[in-house]
Amino acid sequence: MTETEQATNQPVFNIEKIYVKDISLEIPHAPHIFLERENPQIEVQLNTQATAIEGGIYEVTITNTVTAKIGEKVMFLIEAKQAGIFRLNNLPNEDMEPVLAVMCPNILFPYLREVVSDVAVRAGFAPVLLSPVNFDVLYQQHKQEQAAAATTTH
């Protein structure tokens, strides 16, 4: 094998682009909600998705929904989708899923965190600081759930 052939077979991981794919803010009870003095209950939902685009190029998206409520009344709702385009070549098949499910979301999460906090502040509320997420643990839980589902259906 020549040096050029060895170089072309090297694993490749490149970040092509990081961007906000979608963002929305709802303040259904404005302006009255701004007169509330109670601290809201914050609920956070997080999902990740990886999609193959073409030969070694993938889009990874983290969707985050933050709902702030006072009692049953929604103070605000922020939904943000932070995405990235990643180039992955010459990775062993067994490494592809962990890279797309753990490594890429770890890269995107700080951007998502900043976007959510910025939107809350621009809407007139205190910043929402998303707690760090261990995507490796989420990935392992997902694999265990898949294995359990497979054994119950067979």
Q: Which domain holds residue 68?
A: 11-146
Task: Provide the whole-model pTM.
Answer: 0.87
Question: Which tens digit of pLDDT belongs to each residue from 8-42?
Answer: 689 999 999 999 999 999 999 999 999 988 999 99
> Is 80 domain-assigned?
yes
For the sheet with 57-70, list strands across it: 12-26, 73-89, 57-70, 41-54
> Is 81 domain-assigned?
yes
Tokens of 111: 């951007």
Question: Which tens digit of pLDDT belongs to each residue from 49-107?
Answer: 999 999 999 999 999 999 999 999 999 999 999 999 999 999 998 999 999 999 999 99
> Is 6 domain-assigned?
no
Q: How far apart are the first and last CA of the chain?
A: 46
> Is 1 domain-assigned?
no
> Is 43 domain-assigned?
yes
Closest CA to 54 of 85, 82, 81, 84: 85
132: domain CATH number is: 3.10.420.10
Please state the domain count of the chain: 1
